[in-house]
Amino acid sequence: MARAPALALSPSDSAGAGALPRRDKREAILGAAIKVFARSGYHRARVSDIAREAGIAYGLVYHYFKNKEEILETIFAERWSTFLAAVDGVSHRDTPAADKLVSVAALILNAYRLHPEWVKVLVLEIQRSSRFAEPGQIRAVSALMQAVARILRAGQEAGELRPDLDPDVACYVFIGALELVVTSLVLDLIRLDGTADDAREYYLKVARTVVDIFLNGLAAGGARS
Amino acid sequence: MARAPALALSPSDSAGAGALPRRDKREAILGAAIKVFARSGYHRARVSDIAREAGIAYGLVYHYFKNKEEILETIFAERWSTFLAAVDGVSHRDTPAADKLVSVAALILNAYRLHPEWVKVLVLEIQRSSRFAEPGQIRAVSALMQAVARILRAGQEAGELRPDLDPDVACYVFIGALELVVTSLVLDLIRLDGTADDAREYYLKVARTVVDIFLNGLAAGGARS
Amino acid sequence: MARAPALALSPSDSAGAGALPRRDKREAILGAAIKVFARSGYHRARVSDIAREAGIAYGLVYHYFKNKEEILETIFAERWSTFLAAVDGVSHRDTPAADKLVSVAALILNAYRLHPEWVKVLVLEIQRSSRFAEPGQIRAVSALMQAVARILRAGQEAGELRPDLDPDVACYVFIGALELVVTSLVLDLIRLDGTADDAREYYLKVARTVVDIFLNGLAAGGARS
Amino acid sequence: MARAPALALSPSDSAGAGALPRRDKREAILGAAIKVFARSGYHRARVSDIAREAGIAYGLVYHYFKNKEEILETIFAERWSTFLAAVDGVSHRDTPAADKLVSVAALILNAYRLHPEWVKVLVLEIQRSSRFAEPGQIRAVSALMQAVARILRAGQEAGELRPDLDPDVACYVFIGALELVVTSLVLDLIRLDGTADDAREYYLKVARTVVDIFLNGLAAGGARS
DNA sequence: CATGAATGAGAATTCATTCAT
DNA sequence: GATGAATGAATTCTCATTCAT
């Protein structure tokens, strides 16, 4: 269900030792940037910090990226599209809407579990980058919404979901709920009791809770799943 | 259905013409800062921008505020506490949980309708600022969560809400859903059909939709409110 | 004849001691820039050099000028227009063409005698600044040419000068001759014998020589002035 | 009337296609450098621009030249000496001074007609570069002046030219006049009437005009050649 | 209180030059 | 000879903050 591998940053997630084989140097910079952005925030992060983190020279960053902002944009473009592809894949499955929603929730939560720094940058920095207001970014975020909306619509058509609620609004409710949960995790606001000693189990549980609320509501008499 | 008055920024929301009566100049700075922060983001905003927007001299800002950051903190502290008081008031009412939740949702959405710039700063800058990780900020945000959690707990105790879901998680779902909806409004991602020509009506409808999903869920057979 | 005062840079030609009264600070920067540009050339000159030479803080330069290039442009615009006005004045006099040409030559040579650094910057830096190719600059240089051409045309109409030569070409010959002489002085290529112990006398003699050649030619049987 | 051949840049004036036969790669770099220097100016020109223009790899430039400056110096040294040899040849002819001067003027103007980029670099970059102040450069430029002065002196001795004017000053007048005409052509300030549809004719006419003024002067009653 | 000139640390960016392959 | 990745010193420009008036 959790398709996390699709998000794996593969090797060179951070500065590797020894000479890196060409193209990996670029990845090293991106990985280092994610780390530094996650640690200090985009604006406070210095290009020199990124270079040091990547174990390369100052100016080399500018061989691979036009400027600091392009690094952020690249992180967004490359990682987000990977993530989006995973969500999209889920949305096209032929399973009950409930299952698909749990998958999406797990995808989001697992992304955080496995790559918390990436999610932190995505959540805290990219969204409010000046570029976020740009068509490209908006479209990228919209794509996620539409994937979820597609799931909801299919569920409505299958008679699994209430037909009276606009999927284009409801998807925001679903993603918004997950997002704040993730943000809270990012910011350490939620630190649930350690009953779930296995992290994977724990995040899955959270995913199910969110979906449960989303599907069945909080009103008494609910919980009909 | 407590509303905007609680959030009223009083006069001098922006640069006023003519001499301002003492203390109002401080408000002018805050109002200008909100505008500028909303427009450019905290880091990109220059103190001189704020001064120009407020129609005052460069250095005067430093008579009223220690530094740029204190302006943001003040915005947060003063406006947020006002807002929080309103939510707190709702949470202590003696009405059904559903009503209280609608009120909170309306409070949030109306805050956006009436003071979009303030909400934008709150959503995009303050909440995600690095300072969010500071005890004070965390406590402040937690206070909102706790107010909502209190509503949920009361609803559970009154038998109105399912008792099997942790209010401390569910509150994130509720606020998160609202937050992304507001963010989408901020970023113009949602632009609902103009059937509701009255903005107040429109936002109330959105508030009800969110609460509806939150209470009754999306699963078919729901909508029992 | 020599109208040099029109080119006087007035006080604050260089860094003055003590606090400068507002507007003079700007002049101090321009004066310092001329010195530094003359000494090191535009590209080699650092903004910090200019600031130090002007006796002010680094960043203050950017209060008065957008960037380094604007300093050069300002030097050109302000000083050149002053110079141009002087030449223009000469061109409108009601005297024989020969006298006017001597005046112009003296104007150019005296500008160098009195403000060698300014002339050096004009000659060595501005002319090949990227902006030189811009309409404004071209027009500015053209204005000088036209002023000289006007003198020549008037001389032709008065029967003082040969009518068969295009003034619009001849003016380049006249100015070009003077320019290389000045350049040679700038670069110390010409270091005439010290027979003329008075510099003013000396430059006047050079001016007369150039005009003599220009009017009477080098061919034997000439020198009919 | 010695002309362009003396200045011919031989083959490989620019980037050639395919592999260049050894030594020609050096020429390719020089040719490319001339183009780039003419386009952007020495300081703004990047070594990478030159390499790209020459169609070779970045670092290869450093196999052929110690550094960027050496490229400029080489351009100057090689091309200028070629040019100087041509002028020198003219100066040693046994013809009337007037003819020799026309030849020199034609040499200069034709150099521009056939190799405008080279002349542009010479006029705008080298001659006014700080290196111009170096002994080597000064001697090189002086050599041109001396060649012209030699022509003038010979003319005086032959009774063709006025004996009362110092050849060492007059030569600056002659070259200066030509230089500004060329500069004006470089900068498109002069765009003579298209009556002379043949460029060669046109430039020859300009050369004759300059020499005419130089020899016979502008004063009425002149034009006795 | 007001003003805005002055300061200077800080960060981004450029690009000539080197060097391993 | 080629290549172009790697280096890092040098410089410009920004802008929060201070301070004299």
Q: What are the tens digits of pLDDT across the range D73-104?
A: 898 888 888 889 999 999 999 999 999 999 99
Across the interface, of D176, D215, D221, the residue whose CB is closest to C180 is D176
Q: Supply φ then ψ for residue B161, to 5 degrees.
A: -120, 155
Q: Give contacts of A 76-95 with B, CB under 8 A.
A: none
Touch between chain C and chain B: 3 or more Cβ pairs under 8 Å: no
Name the residue closest to E6, CA to C1': C60
Which other chains touch chain C, taking contact as 3+ CB pairs less than 8 Å apart?
Answer: D
Residues 169-198/D with CB within 7 Å of nucleic chain E are: none
| Yes or no, beta carbons of D172 and C190 under 8 Å apart | yes
Chain C nearest C-alpha distance from D59 (Å):
24
Cβ contacts of D145 within 8 Å, gap of 6 or more: C189, D168, D171, D172, D175
The length of chain B is 225
**Is residue C130's pLDDT more than 60?**
no
Instruction: Provide the percentage of residues in chain D whose pLDDT is more than 70.
Output: 75
pLDDT of residue C59: 95
**Is residue B51's pLDDT more than 80?**
yes
**Is residue D10's pLDDT more than 90?**
no
pLDDT of residue D7: 41
Average of per-residue pLDDT values in chain A: 80
Which stretch of C188-192, D34-38, D57-61 has the lowest confidence by average pLDDT?
Answer: C188-192
Chain A nearest C-alpha distance from B41 (Å):
8
**Is residue A151's pLDDT more than 90?**
yes
* Closest nucleotide over all strands to C48 (CA to C1'): F11
pLDDT of residue B221: 67
Question: Between the CA of C45 and the C1' of F11, what is the distance in angstroms?
Answer: 10
Place A129 in a pLDDT band, splitting at 50, 70 and 90.
low
Across the interface, of D142, D176, D215, the residue whose CB is closest to C181 is D176
Q: Supply φ then ψ for residue C192, to 5 degrees.
A: -60, 155
**Is residue A192's pLDDT more than 60?**
no
Q: Count residue pairs from A and B with Cβ separation < 8 A.
A: 176
CB contacts, 8 Å: A128 with chain B: 41, 124-125, 128
Across the interface, of A165, A190, A223, the residue whose CB is closest to B164 is A223
- Minimum Cα–Cα distance from D206: chain C residue: C169
Across the interface, of B173, B183, B215, the residue whose CB is closest to A219 is B215
SS3 category, C80: helix
| Yes or no, beta carbons of B217 and A220 under 8 Å apart | no
For residues B54 and B15, what is the distance between their CA atoms, to the nearest angstrom?
A: 4
CB contacts, 8 Å: A225 with chain B: 219
CB contacts, 8 Å: C222 with chain D: 162, 216-217, 222
Higher pLDDT pick, D178 / C196: D178
| Yes or no, beta carbons of C223 and D162 under 8 Å apart | yes
Q: Does D45 contact strand E, using a CB cutoff of 7 Å?
A: yes
Question: Between the CA of C7 and the C1' of E6, what is the distance in angstroms?
Answer: 30
**Is residue C9's pLDDT more than 60?**
no
For residues C125 and C41, what is the distance between their CA atoms, to the nearest angstrom?
A: 7
Across the interface, of B179, B181, B224, the residue whose CB is closest to A219 is B224
CB contacts, 8 Å: D210 with chain C: 173
* Closest nucleotide over all strands to D71 (CA to C1'): E16
Q: What is the mean pLDDT of residues D47-64?
A: 95
Question: Between the CA of D56 and the C1' of F3, what is the distance in angstroms?
Answer: 9
Q: What is the mean pLDDT of residues A115-141?
A: 70
3-state secondary structure chain B: CCCHHHHCCCCCCCCCCCCCCCCHHHHHHHHHHHHHHHHHCCCCCCHHHHHHHHCCCHHHHHHHCCCHHHHHHHHHHHHHHHHHHHHHHHHCCCCCHHHHHHHHHHHHHHHHHHCHHHHHHHHHHHCCCHHHHCHHHHHHHHHHHHHHHHHHHHHHHCCCECCCCCHHHHHHHHHHHHHHHHHHHHCCCCCCCCCCCCHHHHHHHHHHHHHHHHHHCCECCCCCC
Q: How many angstroms separate the Cα of A6 from the Cα of each of A2, A84, A111, D115?
A: 9, 10, 10, 60
Are the beta carbons of C113 and C55 closer than 8 angstroms? no
Tokens of D55: 């169609």
**Which residue shows structure tokens 């006398």?**
C201
Q: Does B210 contact strand E, using a CB cutoff of 7 Å?
A: no
Mutate to test the interface with C, among D119, D152, D173 (most CBs of C within 10 A): D173
| Yes or no, beta carbons of A217 and B221 under 8 Å apart | no
**Is residue C174's pLDDT more than 70?**
yes
Higher pLDDT pick, D90 / C40: D90
Place D169 in a pLDDT band, splitting at 50, 70 and 90.
confident
- Domains of chain B from N-terminus onward: 11-65 (1.10.10.60), 69-216 (1.10.357.10)
**Is residue C1's pLDDT more than 50?**
no
CB contacts, 8 Å: A188 with chain B: 133
SS3 category, C162: coil
Chain C nearest C-alpha distance from D82 (Å):
22
pLDDT of residue D122: 77
Tokens of A113: 């579990």
> Would you give the DSSP letter of residue D43?
T
Name the residue closest to E3, CA to C1': B57
Name the residue closest to F7, CA to C1': A57
| Yes or no, beta carbons of D177 and C181 under 8 Å apart | no
| Yes or no, beta carbons of B219 and A225 under 8 Å apart | yes
Instruction: Provide the percentage of residues in chain D whose pLDDT is more than 90.
Output: 39
* Closest nucleotide over all strands to B58 (CA to C1'): E4
Q: Give contacts of C 32-61 with D, CB under 8 A.
A: 40-41, 43-44
Q: Does A58 contact strand E, using a CB cutoff of 7 Å?
A: yes
Chain C nearest C-alpha distance from D55 (Å):
26
Q: What are the tens digits of pLDDT across the range C140-157?
A: 778 888 999 999 999 999
Question: Between the CA of C81 and the C1' of E12, what is the distance in angstroms?
Answer: 37
